[in-house]
Amino acid sequence: MVMELFESPYTAGIVTGIVFGILARLSMLRTDYRQYPTYPHGRIIHLALGLIAASLGSLAVPSLLEKQYTAVTFLTLAAQQFRDVRNMERQTLTNIDSMELIPRGATYIEGIAMVFEGRNYMVMFTALVASMCGILFGWYWGAAAGILALLISNYYKTGKSLSSIAHVEAALVRIDGPDLYVGDIYIMNVGLDETRRLIREHGIGCILKPKDKNSRITLSSIGQRQALLHDACTIMGVYRDTGEPSLLPMAKLDMNDGRLAVMLLPPQPDQGLALSVVKRVPLLESAVRLPVEAHVHSGDRL
């Protein structure tokens, strides 16, 4: 039965495309420290959508070869479906965000929703490549092309991190009277003695120095800063509860040189871990700015 199935070039190509499309979605679906997508139900939703994307990508090739051009218009339905996936993720994460001690922020949520939409297109690409080569040259060439497409999809699935645009250094959290500083950068005024005591016990800081002018503008993004605080507090924890606005991790800019000071309040302070976490925070695509590309700046001024 299996051999008879693979004797048909269309069937063999379609099956090969679907298999590698599903493998592509599996390889790109990870539940990490953010616990998203949730397990198992969130993963089931995305795997089902990955199956749909793989099927559409595989079926597009036979339709074109049979000159059934109108059949290819169903790809527009796929695009609409994947936009609905993006909206679903956005709405879900926005509803959850109001219950977080340190929210993700709208920019981070939009970035996550964009990723889940984009990965379905990558699944479709993998399935289309594997299916096309399987139909034209044989299922074994389809498998080889599918493996190559898998490698390409996994290469592009991960974006950059903050370490690519900034140097991250440890900094001392100090309190001078009521004023709180990270290094030489002013953070806020702390009025209560108990709050100052807790910050001395749990506070750790770091400073991000932008590598260029583009990085300076990107670090000033409120959304990128909120994502940094959320990820750091998700991994390290945060020493606060509801109704304690003074015990809030913060990220403030030095307006003179664009450095970003970060003050964290983990239950167990660990400076080395904090530096490692901050370096690996994702660089949000919607927060990236490239003012230098406008070619309007002169000298060393930003």
What's residue 296's pLDDT?
Answer: 60
What's residue 278's pLDDT?
Answer: 94
Rounded to two decimals, the pTM is 0.82
Angle between helices 9-28 and 139-156 (to 10 degrees): 20
What's residue 302's pLDDT?
Answer: 47
What's residue 116's pLDDT?
Answer: 84
By three-state DSSP, how is residue 155 classified?
helix
Q: What is the mean pLDDT of each run of 10 residues along the chain (302 residues)?
A: 59 89 88 67 83 87 80 74 84 87 90 87 92 87 91 83 92 90 91 88 94 89 93 90 82 92 93 92 84 58 48
* Whether the Cβ atoms of residue 183 and residue 189 lie closer than 8 Å to each other: no
What's residue 59's pLDDT?
Answer: 85
Helix residue ranges per DSSP H, 168-286: 193-202, 213-219, 222-236, 271-279
Residue 61: half-sphere exposure toward Cβ, Cα within 13 Å: 28
Owner of token pair 């497409």: 149
Distance of CA 62 to the CA centre of its chain: 34
In 3D space, the residue among 230, 229, 247, 231 whose CA is nearest the CA of residue 239 turns out to be 247
What's residue 29's pLDDT?
Answer: 83
Distance CA 184, CA 187 (A): 9
Neighbours of 242 (CB within 10 A): 6
What's residue 225's pLDDT?
Answer: 94
What's residue 135's pLDDT?
Answer: 87
Domain spans of the chain, in order of start:
2-156, 162-294
What's residue 32's pLDDT?
Answer: 66
